Structure formats: structure tokens, C-alpha cells
Amino acid sequence: MFNLFKKVLGRTNEAIKEVAPTKRKELSKDEFEDILLEADVNYALIERLLDALPEKINRVQAFNSLISVFQYKADWKESDVKPFVEMIIGVNGAGKTTTISKLAFRYQQEGKKVILGAGDTFRAAAIEQLTRWAAKLDIPIVATQQGHDPSAVVYDTIESAKAKGYDNVIIDTAGRLHTQTNLSEELKKMIRVANKAQEGAPHRKILILDGTQGTSAINQAKAFNEMIGIDGIIITKLDGTAKGGAVLSIADELKMPIFYIGTGEQPKDLIRFKANEYVNTILDEIFI
């Protein structure tokens, strides 16, 4: 697992090496501040973390400081309900469709039967892309034409899953700008219809955040959470950026569970987020 976190944080750690080229037993506050800034941690959070630290900082103190950001209740909703329905939410370009393929592949590997719902009927490309992933993974998909009612897709997907004994339903949603009222109403309707098809559905609403977006991603998350209530986050694209410290800012601002981290473009490239391993991977580059 450590090497996977090392892979995803590769560019971040390269950036850290530029400001901390040699590993040491201790750092000054100023040196630690420079490292966190280089990794794109929010400045207000850095100031708060430094306030609680001594002038000379060792690895244990640095670990305790960074891990404290994740000390909030993060509930991974497990359920025996079948089918277990997940709705995938986020703006265009965040990596929703690819992440759906990763989740579907993961459930397949666990021996579960999965069905997809192409609920982003706003973009023809989204339907086509998800259909291609479904074919590649040999997973059934319920899809319609661009412009059709996405709530009908939600209903039909859940009904099909119930009739055929599927374990997991993963539903895509439109990713128009979070400021648009019609998107808000559409998502709320999809959730109502899911609950009509199966009481309690969707059982998990997952927000996909682009890890390279920084504050913009945090604002998106807040907006979607206000709209419909988010159960947790998957962060994408960290492997392609030096902004790996954004995870700390996201956790601190949102206080939501981070379920997974995307580590690449292939269906297998998804790892369960573990805060201690994330923090240790960063500190491995700094301390002896």
C-alpha cells in the first residue's frame, strides 16, 4: 500500500525535495511551513498547525500535527441492502466516469454483480464513455439518449438490479456547474425517484473531486453538500500534480470521509484512503 501512496504522491514529493533536499531528524517551523506551502496546503491551515508546534519539529510531532486534520467522524456506510445504490456526483472534468469504472471493477473483484446507470443524459459523450467502460468490464448498463429524463434511468436501473439480483448499482449524474439551479433540482428529483424504486436509495452519495483544483474543489463540495448532502469523497488526479497537500485542505474544510484516491487512468487505479499512510508517505521524504 505504501508504494501506491508513493506513486500517487510522486510529484508532490518531488516538489518537497526542492525545498527540503536532504532528510533530517528535525526541521524548523519556517522549513516545515515552506514544505507545506510547496505541497499546496491551505495557508490558514498551515498557520493553525504551526501554532501548536515547537520551534524545532521532529517526525513524531509533525505526524501528530498533520494527522490531527483527519480527526473527525468519517463514517464508511456499510450495508447488507441489495442492491446497494451509489450515486456519483461532481462537475464535468473531475473524473466521474473513470471513477465509476474503477468502483465497478473493484466490486467485480470482490465477486459482486454490478449494474451501471448512465444518468448524465445532458452530455452524449458521457453516455458513450460510460457505455464503453461497461462493455470493457462486461457489466450491464441502463442508458438512454441525450436529453432524456435522467430520473427514468435511475428508476429503470434500480428496478433491473432488483429483478436480476444485482449487488451494486452505480449511477452517473450530470456535471454541469454547481451554481445552476436546474442541476440542483434534477439531482433532488433523481434522489427522490431512487427512493421510490428502493426505499433508502441512494445509500451512498459520493462526490468526485479533482485534486488539482484546490479551493475550487472545496467550494464545489460545499455547494453539492448543501444541495443534496454528500456521504463522502473520492479524490482524483493527484498522481498528475504536485498539489498532494490539497488532501489536507479538503479534509480540514469539509470534515467528510475521503473514501478513495484515484491513482491513474485504469480501472484498477483506485486505493482506499488511509490518513496515516498518506501522512507517512509525505514525511518519508522529509525526515530520517
Query: What's the pLDDT score for residue 180?
Result: 67
Q: How would you class 80 by CB atoms within 10 Å of its CB: exposed for 0-12, middle for 13-18, buried for 19 or more?
A: exposed
Grid coordinates given for 208:
468526485
DSSP 175-210: ---TT-HHHHHHHHHHHHHHHHHSTT-SSEEEEEEE
64-87 pLDDT per residue, tens = 999 999 988 766 666 789 999 999
Could you give the CA distance from residue 48 to residue 117 in angstroms, rounded to a whole number? 43
**Range(s) within the chain of domains with CATH label 3.40.50.300:** 84-274
Could you give the CA distance from residue 240 to residue 211 in angstroms, rounded to a whole number? 9
Measured distance between the N- and C-terminal CA atoms of the chain, rounded to whole angstroms = 20
The answer for residues whose C-beta is within 8 angstroms of residue 239's C-beta and 6 or more apart is 7, 8, 10, 11, 262, 263, 264
Query: What's the pLDDT score for residue 13?
Result: 86
Could you give the CA distance from residue 16 to residue 88 in angstroms, rounded to a whole number? 33
| pLDDT above 70 coverage of the chain, percent | 96
CATH no. of 84-274: 3.40.50.300
Mean pLDDT of 244-273: 92
Mean pLDDT of 222-234: 92
Query: What's the pLDDT score for residue 76?
Result: 64
Query: What's the pLDDT score for residue 265?
Result: 87
Query: What's the pLDDT score for residue 24?
Result: 92
126-175 pLDDT per residue, tens = 999 999 999 999 999 999 999 899 999 999 999 999 999 999 999 999 98
Residue 243 has pLDDT above 90, yes or no: no
